[in-house]
Amino acid sequence: MGKNRAFDVTTLPGFTAIAILAFVLLYAPIVTLVVYSFNGGNSVNLWGGFSLKWYKIAWENEAVQGAAVRSLIIAVWASVIATSVATLAALGTTRRKRFRGQTFIYVMINQPLMVPEIVTAVALLIFFSSVKLATGYSGLGYLILAHSAFCVPFAYLPIRARLEGMDTSMEIAAADLYATPWQTFRHITLPLLMPGVLAGAMLAFVISLDDVIITEFVKSAGQDTLPTYMLGQLRRALTPEVNAISTALLVLTVLILTAFFIITKKRG
């Protein structure tokens, strides 16, 4: 794409400075979060000396660990499902002649963005409860389904943004060379689309991790996620235990990603 040889066309005045500022701002609260996970006191904002006690408490607390693991399981499922259906939908609604119902599809896909969470939450509470009563199944499936649904627009929009204006000449060339539609998609379209899919999947993942209200209303017995576990504490007092578990998750993330990069680098 020719960006490597250009030496200064890619820089715009002030952009790098603002970008670095943005990174600093992003990490400032995270630093305090990590610092307070080592708080010896009982509070999330009153320093009581350095201590690892909250790590010990979190380590011994199966409820908070279970909640963290549950959050991750739901987020993985939801982002995979949401990104898959969103990729298909983006392919179906971009780069083709306008067709009847296209606007309808667009509106439907973006609908979860348009109402506050509490509304979807109440609607799902009523709907899923009757399904739970009718089927007797009350597993994590409902939460995964609900999360997948509200993650769809977050995955769809970046993929669509990537797809729009991505020209079709490569795909046409492939088709001219008798590639099947699947081969064309697999070897041409998907690789070109990948940055969009990656962006969409990452958004879907963090959006699922964040969700509080819908989860609070859809969850069954024993299905607290980390956010609903915290919501329950909000009214009374939060303890640095959640800081500890969040820090542990962050470290885990960074480790996995680093390992991933080292492995792929060796291979490449």
**Cβ distance to another protein smaller for residue 52 or 115:** 115
**Cβ distance to another protein smaller for residue 52 or 238:** 238
Euclidean distance between CA atoms 130 and 33, whole angstroms: 40
Rg of the chain over all Cα atoms, to the nearest angstrom: 22
101 sits in the region (left: phi over 0; alpha: psi -120 to 50; else beta) called left
The contact mask relative to another protein for 143-182 (x = CB under 8 A, - = no) is --xx-xxx-xxx-xxxxxxx-xxx-x--xx--x-----x-
# residues contacting another protein (CB under 8 A): 168
State which of positions 24-83 bind another protein (CB under 8 A): 25-30, 32-33, 36, 41-46, 61-63, 65-66, 69-71, 73, 81-82
**Cβ distance to another protein smaller for residue 38 or 226:** 226
- 259 forms part of the interface with another protein (CB under 8 A): no
Q: How far is the CB of 226 from another protein (least distance, A)?
A: 6
State which of positions 213-242 bind another protein (CB under 8 A): 213, 216-217, 219-224, 226-239, 242
CA 172 distance to own-chain centroid: 33
**What are the residue ranges of helices labelled H in the chain?**
15-36, 53-60, 62-93, 102-114, 117-135, 141-163, 169-176, 181-184, 190-210, 213-218, 226-234, 241-267
Euclidean distance between CA atoms 170 and 161, whole angstroms: 19
Q: Which residue has the tokens 């991933």?
A: 260
State which of positions 77-136 bind another protein (CB under 8 A): 81-82, 84-86, 88-89, 91-93, 95-103, 105-120, 122-133, 136
